[in-house]
Each structure stands twice: as C-alpha cells, then as structure tokens.
Chain A
Amino acid sequence: MPFEMPVEKSSSAVNTVTIGATADEGGTRLSTVTVGGETALPFLHFEGEMPHRPAIAMEVLDVPPEEWPGPMQEAVGDVCGDVAGWARKCVDEFGADMISLHLVGAHPDQQDRSAEECAQTVKAVMEAVGVPLIIWGCGEADKDNEIMPRCSEVAAGENCLLGTATEDNYRTITAACIADNHKLLAEAPLDINIQKQVNILVSEMGLDLSRIVMYQATGGLGYGMEYAYSIMERTRLAALSADRTLSMPMLALVGPECWKAKEARADEATAPEWGDAAERGIAWEATTATCFLHAGTHILVMWHPRAVEIVRNTIDSLVKQEG
C-alpha cells in the first residue's frame, strides 16, 4: 500500500510583519526584512505556505561585555568598542539581515547613559548600516521609559522594532511606537498566558496587533531551551487556529543566552573533556538557533559570525521546497 502523507490544513496564518523602511517608504534603509505569513508549522511545505524565510539579526552592544568569551573576542574584539563599526562589520562581513542594538549602557548599574546619549548611539548605528534595526532598552523599567521615547524619535519613520513592552511596563514604549511608526517587541517571561495578555494590553492602547513581534525570554541549550521551544510551538499552533492575539511572528534572543552558558564559555584548561573551545560555543549557539527555527521563530538574534553562517545554511536548506 503506498504511503499517504497525513496533512493538516490550517485556515489561518501567522501575521506578516515588515521591519525597516526604504527611502520610498519614508525611511533611509537600503533593505527591509519581512517575516511571517505561514499557514503551517515551520518548514512543512506540504501542509501550507511559508512565504518568508526566518531572518538573522546580529546583536551589538553600546558597551561591550566585560568578560568576552575567547571566540567572541577573536571575531569582533577589534570593533566591539565602537558600536557603529561593530554594526557595520556584522552587515558587511557577516551578512546580518538586521542589527539588534542593545542599549545596556543606559542601565543605572552600568554607565547610566542619558536618553540623549542613547539616541546618538541609535543615530550612529542607523547611519553606519542600511539594514533594519531592532532597538532594546537596558531592561530597567524606569530608565527605559526615559530613554526609549527619545531613541524612537530619532529613528522615526525607519520602521524599527522597539523593545520591550512587558505586562508591567508597556505604556511608554507602546506610545512611542504609535507616534513614530515603529513595530513593537512584546515580551513575556517564558509564559504564553502573559504573552497573550501583553498583546491585548498594547492593542488596547491603539497599537494594531499586526504591528507586534513576540519575544519569550529565551533560554539557551541546557538552560530552559525546551520550555521556550514548547511555548513557541504552542503559540504557533494558536496562531494557526485563528487566535489573533497570538498570531504575531516570534523573536528569540539566541546569542546572549547561549554565551552565558559555562559550556559555551569555558576555556579548554577549565574543561578539557569538553573539547575545542573555539568550536564549542559556536556549536552551542548554532544548535540553539536551529532548535528555535523548528519551534517557529522568525527572527534570531545572534552573536558569533560562524554560528550565523551555519544557521544561514540551515535556513537555506530548510526553505528549499522538495520536488
């Protein structure tokens, strides 16, 4: 008897979201990124459409980490003190689809940078690269409410992705997104119920659901990745069963999470049995990213250029339709 592929058809689709605006669209980006639009689980081309490929954003920090792991030092050590140069290298040399700028220097425990300083950083990165930008605050709610409106303003019309809105702190950033025409990154702490709630809250402020990208606080391989995976998968299934409050594309913060892990960071002297330190962290990051692709992630925020290359090749092979 010939094998008959069981096919599940869905009547709904994940929202399609575009980040970035070219000159024609009122911005200055040379390219834009469009994600979403699928009508099936990831890469199941025989069940539905997957009109857009997942995108890779590379993260740059306005203040480089104090303890850079060896492989990261080797890859970007020469530029990581200059955020614009770092961003340029990610695009020109490493082929990043987007730049994810994390304004960690604004944190009161870091350098407590002012809104104006942060806005200048945004501007510098914007001028250095032609790809779309994701802009993150420092993660401290009050400080983010101070810096993000100004950062949003200097990037007005560029259709950036601004983050993050949380259940307890969403008003200021949502208002900024609405005012300056950006997309919003809605965050939840590994909790699908809270994700849905944040989406409802921001949409009640007047931001259309179609302008949201979702971010579940990601766990890396070995550190809760499977929780993030199952939440993302369940979120995707909700989108395919027409839950409009969970139909947005998803982002995963892969690089920073992975390189926190001792398995990725430890040098060979500390853990000789774990093998070559030059490859280990890269493998850790590429593996985590690949898993999230299968969970339905649309935007991967990554660190190491070699991991980016591996994942890009993986995406190439996965989006290719058979036959």
Chain B
Amino acid sequence: MYAIGERINGMFRAVAAAIKEQNPEPIQGLAREQLKAGAQALDVNVGPAAAEPLAAMEWLVKAIREVTDAPLAIDTTKPEVMRRGLELSGPGAIINSAKGQQEQLDVYVPMAIEYEASLIALTIDENGIPRDANGRSEIALRAVAAAMEKGLPTDRLMIDAVILPVNVTQPTPGHVLEAIRSVKLLSDPPPKTVLGLSNVSQGTTQRELINRTYLVMALAAGMDAAIVDVLDTELMDAMITAELLMNRAVYADDFLKAYRASAAG
C-alpha cells in the first residue's frame, strides 16, 4: 500500500504552533519520523486556522524540502495555494484534492499535467456526497473521463470514495468498499484508489481499532493508497500483514521487520 503520512497538518496543535512561530524543527522531525515509519509520501496541510495559507504552505514545503525529497501531497482547497505548493515540491507530487464537479476537474487535471503530479479526485460534487456506491462510481467516471480527455494518464488519477465517520453514517463504509471495487473497472490502466482513512473513526471511542480494521477491509477490496497515521504502529502492522496475506510480499518469520527494512531503503 502506498502510505501517505497525515501528520503534517495544521489541525494538530504542534504543527499549527510551528507554523505560527516559523519553527521548522517540529515539522522536519515529523517528516523524518513518518518516512522512517513507512510513509512513501507526506501530506501537507496548513490547517484551517492559518492566517495566510499561501505563505504558510510555502514555508511548510520549503521546511520539509530541507530534509527530504519524498513526494508531497499538497492538501488544500485553494487553487493558488495548490499551485505554489506543487511548484515548490517538484515533480511527483500529489494534488489533494479536487472535487468531482466539472469546474474543479477543469482546473486541477491540467494542473496535474503541468506539474507532473498525481491527482486525488473526491467522489463529491455540487450535490454533495452520494448516498451509495453507484453515485460514487458515477462521479469517479467523470474524473476518469476528464483525465483521458486532457491527457492525464489514468494511473496518475487517485479516486477517493470519501469515507465518513461510522458513528454518523453506518452504511457508508460498505458503500465505499463497493465503490473501490467498481472504480477499478472504469479504465485501463485503472485509476488508483485512495482513502483519508482516519475519518472513518472520527468521534468514536475506539479510533485506532476502527482505523486498522477498516484499512484491512479496504485493502482487501483493492485500495491502493491511504492517507494514514503511519506513526500508529499497530495500524502499519495490520497493513503489512494484509499485504502479506494478499501475496504482495514474501513471507519470512520476521515479515514486519522485512517490510520496514525495504520501506526504509
């Protein structure tokens, strides 16, 4: 699984404080720690409270680039902040994210092409989040069509079928799994699938258990990538074990260590 580390996000108090004080050390520490724990890319979000999101994004990306060349998932809803983030992080970045309505796809698909980035497309449009799997697939198809039309390779498109907290809507986890399966049939090569995993457990009392159980279910359904807390060791252990059980890694008694040795390299 392609793991995108979620911790550099202004919603976390320590990150917000670091941004405010322009203190790069906590940010760089989080970058290093997450990569060491198995992240292949780092999500970068200035948070809702940032006074000047553009300046905050510039500062964050520059601070991270001092310690790593790993791909960054620029996480913002503002196109100008996205553009600047992509510029500073270089080719191979991830746009996180575009919604599925045509106006947004018209902005972000060309941006992904221009900056040699991947694009996360959410299955949300002007009508909101669909109630079922079919509605999600329809929006995904719109994103796939936009990518094909404008020339973004479909395997650089990542469909996020939008998971909601299980205590808010209990049918959604099932719908999302169904959508992950059906999205794979939309094109050849198929789009990738991704989830912002931690949302599934928002507001519950068993967050880690719910996260890792659902991660394994989504992997079994064919999910390729997830934005996760890679510092949650049990979550990563569950992911590594799922990959093993799906024959994506060769077994060894120390298969957890083996996975981490490979990820670290």
Contact = CB atoms under 8 A, between A and B. Distances in A.
Interface of A: 192-194, 196-197, 200-201, 203-204, 209, 234-235, 238, 242-246
A75 B252 CA distance: 43
A245 B261 contact: yes
A203 B261 contact: yes
Contact of B251 (A193, A204, A235): A193
B185 interface: no
A242 B264 CA distance: 11
Contacts of A234: 250
Interface in B149-186: none
B250 A193 contact: yes
A51 to B, nearest CB: 20
Interface of B: 249-255, 257-258, 261-262, 265
Contacts of A244: 261-262, 265
A200 B261 contact: yes
Which are the 8 A-B pairs with shortest beta-carbon distances?
A: A196-B252, A244-B262, A197-B252, A245-B258, A244-B265, A193-B251, A200-B254, A197-B253
Contacts, number: 41
Nearest to A241: B248
B254 A243 contact: no
A22 B265 CA distance: 29
Contacts of A242: 262
Contacts of A245: 252, 258, 261-262
B225 to A, nearest CB: 16
A200 B252 contact: yes
Given A200-B257, A200-B258, A243-B258, A193 B252 contact: yes
A106 to B, nearest CB: 30
Q: Chain B: interface secondary structure?
A: loop
Contacts of A194: 252
27 contacts: A192-B250, A193-B250, A193-B252, A194-B252, A196-B250, A196-B251, A196-B252, A196-B255, A197-B252, A197-B253, A197-B254, A200-B254, A200-B257, A200-B258, A200-B261, A203-B261, A209-B265, A234-B250, A238-B249, A243-B249, A243-B258, A243-B262, A244-B261, A244-B262, A244-B265, A245-B258, A245-B262
B35 to A, nearest CB: 15
A116 B254 CA distance: 37
B261 to A, nearest CB: 6
A245 B260 CA distance: 10
A200 B251 CA distance: 12
A201 B257 CA distance: 10
Given A197-B252, A242-B262, 20 more contacts: A193-B250, A193-B253, A194-B252, A196-B250, A196-B252, A196-B258, A197-B253, A200-B252, A200-B257, A209-B261, A234-B250, A235-B250, A243-B249, A243-B258, A243-B262, A244-B261, A244-B262, A244-B265, A245-B252, A245-B261
Contacts of A197: 252-254
B250 A238 contact: yes
Contacts of A192: 250
Nearest to B262: A244
A43 to B, nearest CB: 23
Nearest to B264: A244
Contacts of B254: 197, 200-201
B264 to A, nearest CB: 8
A245 to B, nearest CB: 4
Contacts of B250: 192-193, 196, 234-235, 238, 243, 246
Contacts of A209: 261, 265
A187 to B, nearest CB: 15
Nearest to A246: B250
Contacts of A196: 250-252, 255, 258
Contacts of B257: 200, 204
A194 B265 CA distance: 21
B198 to A, nearest CB: 26
B240 to A, nearest CB: 12
A318 B258 CA distance: 33
Contacts of A204: 257
Nearest to B249: A243
A11 B27 CA distance: 30
Nearest to A245: B258
A213 B253 CA distance: 20
A16 to B, nearest CB: 14
Contacts of B253: 193, 197
A242 B226 CA distance: 19
Residue among A197, A242, A244, A245 having the largest count of chain B Cβ atoms under 10 Å: A245
Contacts of B258: 196, 200, 243, 245
A243 B257 CA distance: 12
A200 B250 CA distance: 13
